[in-house]
Structure 1
């Protein structure tokens, strides 16, 4: 046992030296097989940079939740013998009873409290709980725990270590009791059939009585597009205000340095190729070819909208750059760029153009799997272009985020112009 304790201490020390990477690995592994909780790395990182505590808590939550799903897979694949390796037969029987009665509530309870989390994630696989239930319960429980730690450190600084060591266990146990009470209540509550008048969702009931209802389907699209545009506008305005006040400068600098620390020659070549997909040397010929194909199919208006998405995205981005006058980062930049930095032109124009192209493909594909594939591929492409700008040192992360938000706003406006006509 002493050798095991020494190995665990040495392993934890090594992982701690890798900072954010060690935190992610520990959070993922602890949820399925590693005995050391990620709190031992999360708390020191939050103490070093309290302003980034929310970011650390988010990454820890996501990593631990994905590790929980992996633990459920281990349980599903290897079954009860592995579960008995971590717990006694009596404990296994107790856990099985909990899962039979409460399902995902048991995972959420273990994710929040000092109860061994990996026992419940593995048990979830053994007792064939849906992985989506495991993921949702883990996100709720782990997120509440880790964000509570980050909030405590943000408010009390170094004094938070004493508070967490003294009160974190009782507080999470108290929240666990509340969660268990809620699970018990909902498990015992009889399911009654809804009356016929509640079968219509609330939003549809409101829509049927709104002035836009007489516009039919175009009115519904118009309302949804207007709400989505308003959300993107508010998020971009909030981000732009924070960027102007340099609230995120430390986080931007840290993430840029982190991206620079993982540079490899082969990966750099890949990122240079990916970033080219967001440049006009690729977008203009691709737009011309797409417009030609659309025009030959009789979709001249959609071809015009595709051109508008590209040209409008570029024009608006240039106006925003001149309005904010943010200089570009100068941390080991790998490519030559000019002009201002916020928002990222690659991110904004790519979002508007590739998003519009994906929308036009989505309308013409009859099968749902093909539509989902187009959406997923477009999202991956945009994320790759955005990351390449940070990796190559051309933009701050907030520049890329601002470009995504502004591009999504312009894309929504372009799609709204393609609304179906009344009676169509």
Structure 2
């Protein structure tokens, strides 16, 4: 428990140090997958600078709404195919009908109250709730919560905490009931509100521009945009992580995660983790590489795919050689006979290699597979990365931040390789 509390406290300190940017990232992540709510950063920032309270509230509201949309699409792309395998379609349809009637209220209540918001954002995608209804419910409920927090602090200062805990803790459920009553009363008056995104400023221009771009470059254009955005975001996150690591400000994260892993140690897990570690040995990696090359040649009948697999694989070693030699962070547990740059741990070469190499193999599968198999390939890839990373931490071979850094730079390298192979395909036609 102490490890978990230290993790939460460290998370708060980390995002506080990064001000508005940290607040935006936390609010976005919490709305779709991260367990720590943005309130723990919004409230201290507003107390420290009341004049910027509304600014911080706006940032949190926008980021949380965008994160909710991300969670919505996670539900559509990943949650729905998985659910369809275990639940009959007619039962899913019944739940969809319920979401069509009450989903907006469910999202609004979750967005305003302490109920885990991310559960409803993902569920809304799984059960295909109307996107416009979801967006409006998410934006209004999250804005109401965060602007209310900031307004109370701006009016009452540090004394506001008592009222915030009451109003936006258990009291938020009462406010939700009041809002429901008002809604029912308004509905009886037959007042209607119509939202048409086509009337928003710039909508027509943005739509026409995107359509022209897609017509000109097709799928390649989508890969360019997606690849550059992905590489840019993960690259900036890696740079930020490096800065924090060099300033020794991430010790709380390493200690917290390591304590959690220590608390679950057992002989049975030791056997499993040691077996997983065998797959990370040089001979196993060479066998995996050979299998990947043969499989790509058989599946695609084109030499450029095995060549790109080899580039992705070897490039991962070149990148980790350069970065490990640059940062020279000692390993948590020194190796018996380290060779050169392998004596250092940052970033994790295993995380980098498996992220880029296995990710590229998964990408090649998606080029031939049906829609449901694409999701399966992506899920298996993410699970393998998580398992490999967790095994390194469990065995004391890497710091958690080493694994995170390896994953981030691995995604950058993976995105670059995917854009490169798509460019080769496009210009060789």
Range into which the TM-score falls when normalised by the shorter chain: 0.5 to 0.7
**Structure 2 spans left out of the alignment, 5+ residues:** 17-25, 39-67, 69-74, 76-97
Aligned twin of 1:260: 262
Indicate conservation of the 8 Å contact 2:7/2:253, yes or no: no
Counterpart of 2:343 in 1: which secondary structure? coil
Indicate conservation of the 8 Å contact 1:52/1:251, yes or no: no
TM (normalized to structure 1)? 0.61
Alignment match of 2:344 (pick from 340, 346, 351): 340
Give per-residue Cα distances to partners, 1:100-122, cap 9 Å, x unaligned.
975442454266448xx69xx9x
Pairing 1:385–2:388 present = yes
Pairing 1:410–2:386 present = no
Matches within 5 A, 1:75-90: none
* Stretch of structure 1 that moved more, 166-175 or 413-422: 166-175
Aligned twin of 2:13: 51
Alignment coverage as a number of residue pairs: 330
Pairing 1:421–2:426 present = yes
**Structure 1 spans left out of the alignment, 5+ residues:** 1-17, 22-41, 70-97
Counterpart of 2:396 in 1: which secondary structure? coil
Aligned twin of 1:168: 165
Indicate conservation of the 8 Å contact 1:274/1:388, yes or no: yes
Counterparts of 1:276 and 1:231 in 2: how far apart (Å)?
33
Pairing 1:401–2:407 present = no
Aligned twin of 2:44: none
Indicate conservation of the 8 Å contact 1:305/1:414, yes or no: yes
Q: CA deviation at 1:45?
A: 8.6
Indicate conservation of the 8 Å contact 1:46/1:53, yes or no: no
Indicate conservation of the 8 Å contact 1:335/1:394, yes or no: no
Indicate conservation of the 8 Å contact 2:3/2:260, yes or no: no
Counterpart of 2:398 in 1: which secondary structure? coil
Assess, with a 3 A threshold, how the Cα gap between structure 1 residues 201 and 275 changes in structure 2: closer, same or farther.
farther
Indicate conservation of the 8 Å contact 1:46/1:52, yes or no: no
Indicate conservation of the 8 Å contact 1:352/1:408, yes or no: yes
Matches within 5 A, 1:8-157: 18-19=1-2, 51=13, 58-59=34-35, 103-106=103-106, 108-109=108-109, 112-113=112-113
Give per-residue Cα distances to partners, 1:166-191, cap 9 Å, x unaligned.
4322356589579949x949994136
Counterparts of 2:427 and 2:304 in 1: how far apart (Å)?
17
Assess, with a 3 A threshold, how the Cα gap between structure 1 residues 224 and 334 changes in structure 2: closer, same or farther.
same
Counterpart of 2:330 in 1: which secondary structure? coil
Alignment match of 1:349 (pick from 347, 350, 353): 353
Which fold has the larger relative contact order, with Cα–Cα distance below 8 Å and residues 6 or more apart in sequence? 2
Indicate conservation of the 8 Å contact 2:331/2:344, yes or no: yes
Aligned twin of 1:223: 225
Assess, with a 3 A threshold, how the Cα gap between structure 1 residues 336 and 131 changes in structure 2: closer, same or farther.
farther
Aligned twin of 1:289: 291
Indicate conservation of the 8 Å contact 1:229/1:412, yes or no: yes
Indicate conservation of the 8 Å contact 1:218/1:422, yes or no: no
Assess, with a 3 A threshold, how the Cα gap between structure 1 residues 46 and 278 changes in structure 2: closer, same or farther.
closer
Q: CA deviation at 1:254?
A: 2.2
Task: Return the index of the structure with the highest Cα Rg.
Answer: 1
Q: CA deviation at 1:192?
A: 5.9
Counterpart of 1:59 in 2: which secondary structure? coil
Q: CA deviation at 1:353?
A: 0.8
Counterparts of 2:344 and 2:275 in 1: how far apart (Å)?
22
Q: CA deviation at 1:253?
A: 1.8
Give per-residue Cα distances to partners, 1:315-338, cap 9 Å, x unaligned.
1111101111111224xx899875
Counterparts of 1:293 and 1:45 in 2: how far apart (Å)?
42
Give per-residue Cα distances to partners, 1:280-327, cap 9 Å, x unaligned.
322211111221343356321100100111100011111101111111
Assess, with a 3 A threshold, how the Cα gap between structure 1 residues 227 and 192 changes in structure 2: closer, same or farther.
closer
Aligned twin of 1:31: none
Assess, with a 3 A threshold, how the Cα gap between structure 1 residues 100 and 132 changes in structure 2: closer, same or farther.
closer
Counterparts of 1:392 and 1:51 in 2: how far apart (Å)?
28
Assess, with a 3 A threshold, how the Cα gap between structure 1 residues 225 and 164 changes in structure 2: closer, same or farther.
same
Assess, with a 3 A threshold, how the Cα gap between structure 1 residues 372 and 208 changes in structure 2: closer, same or farther.
closer
- The alignment's C-alpha RMSD in Å is 5.2
Assess, with a 3 A threshold, how the Cα gap between structure 1 residues 400 and 45 changes in structure 2: closer, same or farther.
closer
Assess, with a 3 A threshold, how the Cα gap between structure 1 residues 344 and 381 changes in structure 2: closer, same or farther.
same
Pairing 1:368–2:363 present = no
Aligned twin of 2:362: 358
Aligned twin of 1:237: 239
Aligned twin of 2:88: none
